[in-house]
């Protein structure tokens, strides 16, 4: 696998080696020793999967305190625009983001460490999104930042009126109002 450092420390784009032949393809999606050699030790404990249609925007989500989560995300069907926003107040890249297209064609993954809000927008007719997390889901520690918070300057490629999101995400706080990491 190829581990690509982004402009934000700790966030990596990971490109697997894909072996294609007449039958289809094969790839290693995650390899513990290799991952730890490039990124560091992360004890993933759960895999999650969602299916969404065009224009669905999920995020920007995170969990606070002892229930914060690191994530390794990828798309197994379709295309999404994935974003990780640094919400660590003491970070030199606080408020900045990494935005990358993940698809079943490019097979890229994004590693997002703890201290980031995460979300994605579906660009294809349908997308199946899967991700590993290193901590349990704890709804009482769940938080979010508005996907369209102007202070984040996120450039989503579809019109705001075409975005489909949950009521919870519509009610999320701005970065200035949010509970952040120290």
**Among all residues, which ones are annotated catalytic?**
61, 131
What is the domain class of 45-170 according to CATH?
Answer: mainly beta
Query: Taking the C-alpha atoms of 25, 39, 2 and 31 in order, what is their torsion angle to the nearest 10 degrees?
Result: -30
Strand, helix or coil at 96? coil
pTM summary value: 0.94
Q: What is the pLDDT of residues 28-83, one digit of tens each?
A: 999 999 999 999 999 999 999 999 999 999 999 999 999 999 999 999 999 999 99
Give the start-to-end residue ranges of the domains of the chain: 45-170
CA–CA gap between residue 128 and residue 148 (Å, rounded): 23
Structure-token pair, residue 177 = 């109002």
């Amino acid at each position: 696998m190829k581990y690509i450092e982004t402009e934000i420390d700790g966030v990596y784009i990971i490109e697997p080696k894909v072996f294609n032949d007449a039958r289809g393809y094969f790839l290693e999606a995650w390899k513990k020793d290799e991952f730890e050699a490039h990124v560091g030790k992360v004890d993933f404990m759960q895999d999650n999967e969602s299916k969404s249609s065009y224009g669905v925007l999920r995020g920007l989500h995170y969990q606070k305190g002892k229930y914060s989560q690191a994530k390794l995300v990828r798309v197994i069907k379709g295309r999404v625009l994935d974003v990780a926003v640094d919400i660590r107040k003491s970070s030199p890249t606080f408020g900045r983001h990494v935005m990358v297209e993940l698809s079943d064609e490019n097979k890229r993954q994004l590693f997002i460490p703890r201290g980031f809000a995460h979300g994605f927008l579906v660009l294809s007719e349908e997308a199946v999104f899967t991700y590993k997390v290193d901590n349990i889901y704890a709804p009482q520690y769940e938080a979010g930042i508005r996907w369209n918070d102007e202070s984040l300057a996120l450039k989503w490629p579809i019109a705001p009126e075409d975005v489909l999101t949950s009521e919870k995400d519509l009610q999320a706080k701005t970065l200035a109002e949010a509970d952040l990491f120290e």
